């Protein structure tokens, strides 16, 4: 626009507080003050860029088009190029020093994690690895697998082994899937495209997160993807505003996503202290004094805010399944992710869901919630009829093919992995994801079938 208002950098830099927060993205100035309370990542993650150029940070984690959802009037104008000063607007680089380690040294999924920790920026590593509270649920997710022992039978003909599994009506090559995980671009520039490539090549499902850093359209239309290999599911966070949720459902439906995975364990967002501590430290390093954190006690009653809900619905209930199902129509199966008790599993079946996804959100939500494995055992003990009425998925702490076999033996249909694939793509991109599937899971599952 030739008549667009121009702002010099000194003017922009003055708007660096929660009361007046401007950011620059691709040489365009935005006033995001009203948007601060609505930001899914909390106010502090935006305030650390207040009065600065946030282009690099924004593009790393947001798909195109997100700026169009800002409140009307947020776009103020453009940066006056004649006043540019690199030091005033330079984005904080989040790139970690590149360290080359041979992928051949990755003999298990934990090896990918070790490489990723060295390669990732501090911000990305904290985001991927953090958990809520005292990390009890996160730790139990992995420890509980060790408490299940096999009862190996012998003298059986296992010369030919078929690892295929029919998952939600599609014959998949392995009884595993890529669990929904957000912001893959923090780990690799190609982001979730690395996961789509692995899913398609090895014919396993991929549940794409609502918070994918690559647009749903780009993932669905990736040229190398075949509709006959590697089903794409859509993981849905139900928003506070029904209109936004309906738009998401229709978008995924029109793009051909074949299953709807409704996350039900985010009525409130749990504190992940490592994330919050990092954001505060960044703010302090930038000289901020007006630091907002989600769980800071307000100084006055007038300043009090509702519990930290992010943009997700805190009123989601069983009756909402009717309108969600109506919007999704006959696009494919519908299931609930975040079931953590036998009672809720039974209720879900009574409401006619096609699958139940046992999960405690990777230990990132309610600390002290049971591992999905414990919930599966509880279902077997108290509501065994559930196992025959719908497919059962689970995730959490799976690091070996033997863990997958244990889940299958106990009644699960398929097992999801989230962090391991994020670490694999962070370490080696699409090649890391593919190697994690082919060598570290496929082979181990094969060797553990007796």
| pLDDT value of position 93 | 46
> Are the C-beta atoms of 39 and 189 separated by less than 8 Å?
no
Q: State how far the alpha carbon of 158 is from the alpha carbons of 109, 134, 246, 405, 447, in Å.
A: 26, 43, 48, 15, 10
CA 234/CA 180 separation, integer angstroms: 8
Q: Over the stretch 88-116, which tens digit does the pLDDT of each residue have?
A: 444 444 444 555 789 999 989 999 999 99
Q: Over the stretch 200-218, which tens digit does the pLDDT of each residue have?
A: 999 999 999 999 999 999 9
Q: State how far the alpha carbon of 335 is from the alpha carbons of 168, 207, 324, 368, 386, in Å.
A: 10, 12, 11, 24, 14
User: For this structure, is 278 an active site residue?
Assistant: no
Q: Which secondary structure element, helix H or strand E, spans residue 233, and what is its range?
A: strand 232-237
> Are the C-beta atoms of 280 and 289 separated by less than 8 Å?
no
- Place 291 in a pLDDT band, splitting at 50, 70 and 90: low
| pLDDT value of position 21 | 84
Assign 281 to helix, strand or coil: helix
Q: Which of 364, 361, 369 is nearest to 395 (CA)?
A: 361
Q: Does domain 106-269+309-447 have CATH number 3.20.20.70?
A: yes
Q: State how far the alpha carbon of 68 is from the alpha carbons of 44, 62, 74, 75, 405, in Å.
A: 21, 12, 9, 9, 46
pTM of the model: 0.85
Q: What is the CATH number of domain 6-89?
A: 3.10.120.10
Domain ranges of the chain: 6-89, 106-269+309-447
Among 127, 138, 202, 237, the active-site one is 237
Of the ranges 84-93, 339-348, 395-404, 420-429, which one carries the lowest mean pLDDT score?
84-93
Give the CA diameter of the chain. 82
Burial class from Cβ neighbours inside 10 Å (0-12, 13-18, 19+) for residue 244 reads middle
Q: Over the stretch 234-276, which tens digit does the pLDDT of each residue have?
A: 999 999 999 999 999 999 999 999 999 999 999 988 889 998 8
User: For this structure, is 361 an active site residue?
Assistant: yes
CA 248/CA 237 separation, integer angstroms: 9
User: For this structure, is 237 an active site residue?
Assistant: yes
Among 53, 144, 265, 276, the active-site one is 265
Of the ranges 219-228, 312-321, 363-372, which one carries the lowest mean pLDDT score?
219-228
- Going by their DSSP bridges, the two strands 6-7 and 75-79 should be labelled as parallel
pLDDT over 70 (residue 24): yes
As beta bridge partners, residue 391 has 355
Better pLDDT: 288 or 33: 33
Q: Over the stretch 124-138, which tens digit does the pLDDT of each residue have?
A: 999 999 999 999 999
Among 111, 138, 361, 444, the active-site one is 361
């Amino acid at each position: 626009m030739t008549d667009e208002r121009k702002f010099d950098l000194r003017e922009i830099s003055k708007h660096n507080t929660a009361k007046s927060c401007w950011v620059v993205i691709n040489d365009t100035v935005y006033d995001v003050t009203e948007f601060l309370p609505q930001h899914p990542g909390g106010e502090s993650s935006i305030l650390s860029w207040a009065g600065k150029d946030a282009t690099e940070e924004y593009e790393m984690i947001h798909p195109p088009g997100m700026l169009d959802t800002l409140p009307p009037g947020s776009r103020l104008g453009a940066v006056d190029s004649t006043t540019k000063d690199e030091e005033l607007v330079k984005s904080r680089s989040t790139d970690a020093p590149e360290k080359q380690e041979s992928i051949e040294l990755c003999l298990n999924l934990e090896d990918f994690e070790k490489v990723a920790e060295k390669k990732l920026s501090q911000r990305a590593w904290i985001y991927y690895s953090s958990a809520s509270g005292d990390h009890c649920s996160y730790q139990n997710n992995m420890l509980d697998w060790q408490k299940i022992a096999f009862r190996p039978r012998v003298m059986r003909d296992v010369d030919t082994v078929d690892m295929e599994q029919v998952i939600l009506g599609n014959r998949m090559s392995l009884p595993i899937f890529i669990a929904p995980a957000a912001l893959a671009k923090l780990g690799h520039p190609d982001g979730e495209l690395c996961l789509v490539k692995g899913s398609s090549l090895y014919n396993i499902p991929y549940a794409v997160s609502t918070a994918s850093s690559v647009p749903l359209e780009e993932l669905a239309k990736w040229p190398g993807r075949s509709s006959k290999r590697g089903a794409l599911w859509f993981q849905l966070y139900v928003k506070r505003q029904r209109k936004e949720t309906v738009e998401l459902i229709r978008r995924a439906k029109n793009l051909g996503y074949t299953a709807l995975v409704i996350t039900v364990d985010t009525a409130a967002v749990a504190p992940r202290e490592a994330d919050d501590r990092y954001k505060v430290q960044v703010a302090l390093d930038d000289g901020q004094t007006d630091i907002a954190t989600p769980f800071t006690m307000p100084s006055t009653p007038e300043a009090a805010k509702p519990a930290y809900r992010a943009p997700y619905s805190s009123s989601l209930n069983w009756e909402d399944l009717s309108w969600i199902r109506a919007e999704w129509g006959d696009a494919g199966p519908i299931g609930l992710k975040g079931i953590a008790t036998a009672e809720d599993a039974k209720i879900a079946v009574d409401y006619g869901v096609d699958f139940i996804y046992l999960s405690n959100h990777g230990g990132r939500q309610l600390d002290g919630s049971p591992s999905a494995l414990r919930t599966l055992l509880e279902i077997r003990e108290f509501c065994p009829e559930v196992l025959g009425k719908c497919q059962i998925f689970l995730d959490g702490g799976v690091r070996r093919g033997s863990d997958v076999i244990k889940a299958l033996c106990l009644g699960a249909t398929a097992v999801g992995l989230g962090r391991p694939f994020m670490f694999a793509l962070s370490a080696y991109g699409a090649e890391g994801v593919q190697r994690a599937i082919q060598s570290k899971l496929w082979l181990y599952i094969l060797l553990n079938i007796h």
